[in-house]
Structure 1
Amino acid sequence: MTPADDHPLRYGLVNELHARPSPRLGAPSTVVFVAFKEPDQAATRDRARDDAHLDELVTRHGGQRPDRTANHYAGQIGRHKLRWERHTEFVTYTAYTPGLPPRPFDPSAGAVFPEEWQAAAPGKRVAAVMIQILPLPEDPAEVLDTLEGWFVTDSLAAGWVLEEAALVASDFRIDASGWMRFAVFIREGATEGRIGRIVQRILELETYRAMSMMGLPRARSLSGRLNALDPQLSAIVAGMADEHRPADDVLQELLSISARLETEATQSHFRFGATKAYEAIVMDRVAVLRESRFMGRQTLTEFMARRYQPAMRTVASTEARLKTMLERADRAGELLRTRVDVQRSAQNQQVLESMDRRAALQLRLQHTVEGLSVVAISYYAVGLISYALAPVAEGLGIEKGVLLALLTPLAVLAVWWGLQRVRKRLEGDEGGEH
């Protein structure tokens, strides 16, 4: 088989599987990570601004210029290895550095991403993570004192991952310098590739957690608006049987509420859909760490179940409530439209009955006019004929009164017969046209 036989997308799709390999890290090491997202319309943002921001960072450190057509970049900037990735709504920067800072989680470790450079980013920072990778002591219990000194004890989560290859700990809090801290203690014998995969899963966990929770403020604000619309919708549905209120007026009120609900659904559809997708990734990243408990401490899985899942359930319930209200509005609209149709049918029936009555009245009037027409025409016909036959009547000795008496019934019958013939002919012409 020659390359010409391959699908034009084959190589690109296969290369996509290897576009973002896990880093290879040793212990000790320091990882600094930031992610930026546009506040609005992030999915349709200007990608050129992302490229320009990356160029500025690489140029500042004297690194190799990135390819502007790619959605990922890896290169050396000073003593740091930099990895940049562009996603649908956000971009991420990760710097890997051998060794540890002078103090645990020293803010100086984040100097690879200068504050003025971060302030000029196209978008706002949604995640900032600092990870310290250290060798695990021979006695893992010694780690407890260290963790309690680094993290807030009340929210500390710590657990073994990947069959106790490493111990991961964090309090999921933002320190005074704006960083969320993670500590990874590596058991002797863990490979650099496995360490890199653990770190990558942690970074993905925090990034997608932050992105998924973007739906929570939207859900809370939407819930307030739904609280205002729900009583109005319920009142309309409850009053639909009130015959004293015109159905057209009620339908207009319902259409107004339905339009507002459709607007809310349109504005929230993308955010809620993204939240659901990001939540699935978060839970997947937690699962692949294959946690086990460390000395009675809560695990990352338990922390996420207690602190993170309620937020996701809030988003899901708000989305379901919006969908339910839309369905209620649709059903109420169908019922109201049916009521309006029935009322209009009754009105149309009344109009038809009124037309029938008018047609019957017109027919009776027509018959009356025909009778008067027979009398009037007969009167003039008798007069004209009497004048024409007067000389003949005198020669025959017939008096004028007798002549008129003889002519009158004949004239009336002739006129009546003639009008009947005319009407039948007209009716026959109308029937032929139809």
Structure 2
Amino acid sequence: MAKGSFAFPVAAARAQALGEVHARPYALVATPRVIFQLAFLTEGQAALDHEILSDLSRARGVAPPMPEANHHAVSFGPGTLRWERHTEFSTYFWDAPAPERFGGEVPLHPFGDGFRPPGPLISGIRLEVRKDTEETRAALAHFDRASLCHSEIKNGQAAILTDFRQDGNGLTTILVIDRGMTEAGTGAVVQRLLDIETYRTLAMTGLPLAQTLWPDIRRIEDGLTAVTQQMTKTVRETADGMLTEITRLAAELEAGAAQSLYRFGASRAYYGIVQERLRTLGEVPVAGYETIATFLERRLAPAMRTCQSVEERQANLSRKLSRATSLIRSWVDVELARQNADLLMSMDRRANLQLRLQQTVEGLSVAAISYYVVGLIGYLAKALESAGLPLKSGVLTGIAVPFVLLAIWLVVRAIRRRHKDDAPH
């Protein structure tokens, strides 16, 4: 095949789409190993996050990432720092050789006194991978038996222990007992466990908001009930006041819904990721202990149902407020229609009165104009009589009266018809 025979113009997004598949490979994790991962809320603080990571990179002789980068790795000492940016948080992952004993102090890690957090800490994890030895199995004593989760994965190639409680440093401790996994397989298990702990914490952030909104929704429901009961008694007299109250309740509800829209949607997405990671983990329970999936489902599911219930109550209450508003507006529209009808009837009566008055004025104007015209004819007749013409001025004036009246009436009628024809229809 000739070289370059497929060198066609490529789509702008092709490189990013192809590179995304390989952008976040699982770390190769040897045994024994200790891993720390911190997740910080960094939404709106991308510049500070990048600045801190750049300082860490330069301090270890590594070029800092580009501002638009979403992942970066820095190797130094016995370990590697891996950074990854997500929608509303960033994770700092660091692995190093495990201490001699489970839970022992690590002599060197990048999250010491000199580390500046890029935002509030949302999740902190200490995960150790150790061989299956008597000393490792004795690590059961380090966990709280009341909430200890102990299961096997990968057809018995590994066991997992955690109690989801925080140690003295505020980190959730997880122990993976390696019974023959490859480094790639260990890396995949480690990443799934880190994701489960991080995303289950993020999913639970919707619960405090739901608990805060619950009393407000109840108060709005009570307000709507009061208004609808009032509607059955004195709607016409108090429609404006009820419409104002309904509008106020709807505004409060929409403010709460807008506040919770993103948080509840994110909690659902994070909960879905946790469930997917748990399914992929494929745990088999150890006799006498719960699996991580069972433990988290009993605690996460009610919290997610609470968030879902608040969302559904908001949606149902919004529909009820909309129906109540429409009903009150119908009463207001009916009242306005009645008032408009009364106003039109009043205007019609005034128009009839105005027409009668106009007709009366027209009749008077015909008489007044005729009087002046007849007077002019009388003056003319007297002048002609004084000039010696054989006529009587009084007789001529009297004869002219009916003709003048008819002429003036015809002229006024013609003018009125012309104005009627020119009027808009």
TM-score above 0.5: yes
In structure 2, what is the Cα distance between the partners aligned to 1:156 and 1:191?
26
Structure-2 separation of matches of 1:194 and 1:341: 70
Distance 2:239 2:255 in 1: 24
Partner of 2:193: 202
User: Do the aligned residues in 2 keep the contact of 1:170 with 1:183 (CA within 8 Å)?
Assistant: yes
1:158 match = 150
Residue 384 to residue 25, structure 1, CA distance change in 2 (3 Å): closer
Superposed displacement of residue 355, structure 1? 0.9
Cα distance 1:4–1:346, how it changes in 2: closer, same or farther (>3 A)? same
Q: Is there any run of 5+ residues in structure 2 with no aligned partner, and where?
A: none
Work out whether residues 95 and 112 of structure 1, in 8 Å CA contact, stay in contact via their aligned partners in 2: yes
Instruction: Measure the CA separation in 1 of the matches of 2:324 and 2:47.
Output: 48
Deviation at 1:170, TM superposition (A): 0.9
> Does residue 1:57 correspond to 2:48, yes or no?
no
Q: For the residues of structure 1 that align with 2:392 and 2:182, how far apart are their CA atoms?
A: 147
Where 1:13 maps in the other structure, the secondary structure is helix
Q: 1:66 to 1:380 in 2, by over 3 A?
A: closer
2:217 is matched with: 226
Equivalent-residue separation in structure 1 for 2:288 and 2:95 (angstroms)? 32
Match of 2:101 in 1: 103
Deviations 1:227-262 (Å, cap 9, x if unpaired)? 332222332333345334343333233222222222
2:190 is aligned with 1:186: no
Per-residue CA distance 1:272-330 (angstroms, 9 max, x = gap): 22111111111111111111211131111111111111111112211222222222223
CA distance in 1, matches of 2:77, 2:56: 11
Larger displacement relative to structure 2 (255-264 or 126-135): 255-264
Counterpart Cα distance in 1 of 2:31 and 2:90: 27
Partner residue in 1 for 2:226: 235
Confirm whether residue 124 of structure 1 aligns to residue 120 of structure 2: yes
Residue 418 to residue 169, structure 1, CA distance change in 2 (3 Å) = same
Aligned partner of 1:33 among 19, 30, 37: 37
Compared CA separation, residues 318 and 109, structure 1 to 2 (3 A): farther
Deviation at 1:182, TM superposition (A): 0.6
After superposition, what is the alpha-carbon deviation per residue over 1:195-248, rounded to whole angstroms, capped at 9, x for unaligned?
Answer: 110000000111111112222222222223223322223323333453343433
Q: Distance in 1 between matches of 2:420 and 2:404?
A: 25
Alignment of 1:324-339 (within 5 A): 324-339=316-331
**Alignment partners' CA distance in 1, 2:10 and 2:55:** 39
Q: Which amino acid aligns with 1:23?
A: A
Match of 2:417 in 1: 427
CA distance in 2: counterparts of 1:289 and 1:97, whole angstroms? 24
Q: Could you tell me how far apart the structure 2 residues matched to 1:339 and 1:412 are? A: 62
Give a deviation string over 1:322-342, Cα, whole Å, max 9, x none.
Answer: 222222223333333333333
Shift of 1:398: 9.6
CA distance in 1 between partners of 2:107 and 2:349 (Å): 92
Q: Report the 3-state secondary structure (helix = DSSP H, G, I; strand = E; otherwise coil) of the residue aligned with 1:171.
A: strand
Gaps of at least 5 residues in structure 1 are none
How far has the Cα of 1:87 moved from its partner? 1.2
1:19 paired residue number: 23
**Equivalent of 1:112, from 109, 114, 126?**
109
Decide whether the 8 Å contact of 2:152 with 2:158 is kept in 1.
yes
Moved more, 202-211 or 219-228: 219-228
Offset, 1:358: 0.5
> Contact (CA 8 Å) 1:58, 1:77: kept in 2 or not?
no
**One-letter code of the match for 2:336?**
R
The structure-2 alpha-carbon separation of the partners of 1:76 and 1:158, relative to structure 1 and needing over 3 Å to count, comes to same
Summarize the Cα distance change of 1:379–1:95 in structure 2 as closer, same or farther, 3 Å threshold: closer
Kept in 2: contact 1:374–1:412 (CA 8 A): no
Separation in 2, partners of 1:301, 1:169: 12
SS in 1 for 2:113: helix
Give the equivalent residue in structure 2 for 1:320: 312
Normalized against structure 1, the TM-score is what?
0.85
User: Residue deviations 1:390-414, cap 9 Å, x none?
Assistant: 898xx999997xx69x948x73575
2: CA distance, partners of 1:23 / 1:375? 113
Task: Kindly indicate whether the alpha-carbon contact (under 8 Å) linking 2:157 and 2:178 is maintained by their aligned counterparts in 1.
Answer: yes
- Does residue 66 of structure 2 align to residue 75 of structure 1? no
Residue 158 of structure 1 aligns to a residue whose secondary structure is: strand
Between the aligned partners of 1:243 and 1:259, the Cα distance in structure 2 is 22
Contact 1:57 1:117 in 2 (8 A): no
| 3-state DSSP of counterpart to 1:307 | helix
1:345 aligns with 2:345: no
Give, as a single letter, the amino acid of the residue that structure 2 aligns with 1:411.
V
Assess, with a 3 A threshold, how the Cα gap between structure 1 residues 429 and 160 changes in structure 2: closer, same or farther.
Answer: same
Q: Which deviations, in whole Å up to 9, do the C-alpha atoms of 1:96-127 show, x marking residues without a partner?
A: 223x3243213x23851334244x21201111
Report the Cα distance in structure 2 between the residues aligned to 1:67 and 1:3, rounded to whole angstroms.
Answer: 30
- The one-letter code sitting in structure 2 at the alignment partner of 1:105 is G
Aligned mates of 1:233, 1:20 — CA distance in 2: 51
The AA in structure 2 aligned to 1:251 is: L
| Offset from partner CA, 1:173-192 (integer Å, 9 cap, x none) | 112221101111122x3211
- Residues 1:261 and 2:250 are matched in the alignment: no
SS at match of 1:75: strand
Measured in 2, the distance between the counterparts of 1:298 and 1:184 equals: 16
Alpha-carbon spacing, 1:133–1:370, altered in 2? closer, same or farther (3 Å): same
Q: Percent identity?
A: 35
CA distance in 2: counterparts of 1:110 and 1:90, whole angstroms: 27
Give the alignment's TM-score, normalised by structure 2: 0.87
8 A Cα contact 2:236 2:335, kept in partner = no
CA RMSD of aligned residues (A): 3.1
Report SS of the residue matched to 1:112.
Answer: coil
